[in-house]
Structure 1
Amino acid sequence: MTLISAKNISVNHGNAIILQNVTLDINAGEIVTIVGPNGSGKSTLLRAFIGATPLKSGTLTRKDGLRIGYVPQKLHIDPTLPMSVARFLSIPLRVSASAAKDALEQAGSGALASRQMSDLSGGQFQRVILARALLGKPELLILDEATQGLDQPGSADFYRQIESLRETLGCAVMMVSHELHVVMAASDRVICLNGHVCCEGAPEVVASAPEYRALFGSGTQGALALYRHDHDHHHHAHDHEHEDA
């Protein structure tokens, strides 16, 4: 089932063309990653998908009543403001303690409810933001550079959490990331964007596409194999369903 379908969408910022004739679908239960150089329109595409950026042309259709959870690139909270994690999750809509606890556990941060937001590490903070996005029981989780500022093991753990959420909640995931090696392994489909869709497909297909190599070189192939090896140690039971690319 298609959750969101974009047909030939274009977005301008003033006179500058940010996105031109982008067509793509996000289907139930899949993990789709958008990669591309800086300024390629990745965040703009996500904002268009959540309805925060107007289209110049084209059409965007969403499944009726589609529930979207959004994890922004950066969220700034005044560090002098005393606010517990549980209180943060109850702004603007109050949530029950049990709903907050469930969302925190799903985000891999179950023990944090009573902690102060200002005391959290970068990784803990991101998991709380993820928990907040999960409160609405999303069918589609949209993440914009959600691991910016985390170290490599921290971001790998975060993406493993996203994969396990897809397994347990059945939600689709659409994410933008710079961490090509991790993302390539965690995705069912990769879309290479540079103002338009340069190439798309299974990670292995995109990693060897000339358009992708022109933008990123070929250095991620070895990293992809390395991550897969490490990843498979964590997921013996994972039936390699994505490897028949």
Structure 2
Amino acid sequence: MSLVTLEHVGVALGGRDVLTDVSFTMDMGEIVTIVGPNGSGKSTMLRVIVGAVQPTKGRVIRKEGLKIGYVPQKLHIDPTLPMTVRRFLSLPRRVDNDAADMALTETGAGHLYDRQMVDLSGGQFQRVLLARALLAKPDLLILDEATQGLDQPGSADFYDHIDRVRREFGCAVLMVSHELHVVMAASDRVICLNGHVCCQGEPEHVASAPEYRALFGTGTHGALALYRHEHSHTHDTCDDAVCDHDHSHDHGSAP
């Protein structure tokens, strides 16, 4: 059984259709990236998957006992609040030292154990957030724009850690990001979203699909070779049928 399946899901928020007829399946061990312009419904799709937003149409099927780890786009911590990395990992539920050590080590943040959260760089902060998400030993790890604000080398390094986490933990990874050249190359499968699924498949096929190029142009395709990870399994290729929706308008996103 798949970890999560969306069947013809539609979501209307504030009187607007944010998602229309979205079907999606996530299997154990794969890395899937959702790409799309601002207002395309990417964050709403994540919220549907975790159960924070209920679909207006269609249904969501989750594997029984599914455990999800979540790395948010950003997290604000009051700079006047003294809090070490170790203490942060025990919020809201205390974890033992061995579990905290293991999670930080897995994400390359073991040396940050006693550091103050407010003193961390952007990349260090995201690694700590990733460690916190791994404490639950998730079946599915979700990252919503998790490298926003990092430079390109920092983003590439973070995604290298994600790939290693996927291999060592055996979890699936679902990502949303605007860093197309890095994220798509780190993925097994890419879904191009603009209120509906425009196309999906392996990164190279999506990058050359007319629906993708209509949204993002052609500049991303040539950069894929610089970052491409090799994986032992394959997925269905992109549907090259011409998209029958108008991309010129904004579908809106969840508030």
* Greater share of residues in helix: 1
Confirm whether residue 32 of structure 1 aligns to residue 32 of structure 2.
yes
Q: Distance in 2 between matches of 1:36 and 1:186?
A: 17
- What amino acid does structure 2 have at the position aligned with 1:164? R
Structure 1 residue 12: Cα displacement: 1.3
Aligned to 2:129: 129
> How many corresponding residue pairs?
236
Confirm whether residue 90 of structure 1 aligns to residue 81 of structure 2.
no
Q: Distance in 1 between matches of 2:27 and 2:227?
A: 25
Aligned to 1:241: 232
Q: Percent identity?
A: 68
Structure 1 residue 243: Cα displacement: 7.3
Question: Please, what TM-score do these two structures have when normalized by structure 1?
Answer: 0.93
- What amino acid does structure 2 have at the position aligned with 1:166? R
- What amino acid does structure 2 have at the position aligned with 1:191? I
Structure 1 residue 242: Cα displacement: 5.3
Q: Distance in 1 between matches of 2:3 and 2:233?
A: 20
| 1:198 partner SS | strand
1:82-231 aligned at under 5 Å gives the runs: 82-228=82-228
Structure 1 residue 241: Cα displacement: 2.4
* Deviation sequence 1:155-209 (CA, Å, 0-9, x none): 0000010001111111000000111111111100000000000000000110000
What 5-or-longer segments of structure 2 have no aligned partner?
A: 238-255
Aligned to 1:234: none
Structure 1 residue 226: Cα displacement: 2.4
Aligned to 1:63: 63
Structure 1 residue 83: Cα displacement: 0.3
* Deviation sequence 1:98-144 (CA, Å, 0-9, x none): 11111111111111111000000000000000001000000100000
CA RMSD of aligned residues (A): 1.3
Q: Distance in 1 between matches of 2:233 and 2:36?
A: 22
What 5-or-longer segments of structure 1 have no aligned partner?
A: 232-237
| CA pair 170-4 structure 1, distance change in 2 beyond 3 A | same
Q: Distance in 1 between matches of 2:176 and 2:11?
A: 18
Q: Distance in 2 between matches of 1:108 and 1:62?
A: 31
Contact in 1 for aligned 2:186/2:227 (Cα 8 Å): no
Which ranges of 4 or more aligned residues in structure 1 deviate by more than 6 Å? Answer: none
* Deviation sequence 1:57-109 (CA, Å, 0-9, x none): 11001000001000011111101100000111101100001111111111111
Question: Please, what TM-score do these two structures have when normalized by structure 2?
Answer: 0.90
| 2:3 partner SS | strand
- What amino acid does structure 2 have at the position aligned with 1:221? H
Q: Distance in 2 between matches of 1:105 and 1:50?
A: 27
Q: Distance in 1 between matches of 2:129 and 2:118?
A: 13
- What amino acid does structure 2 have at the position aligned with 1:101? D
Q: Distance in 2 between matches of 1:65 and 1:225?
A: 38
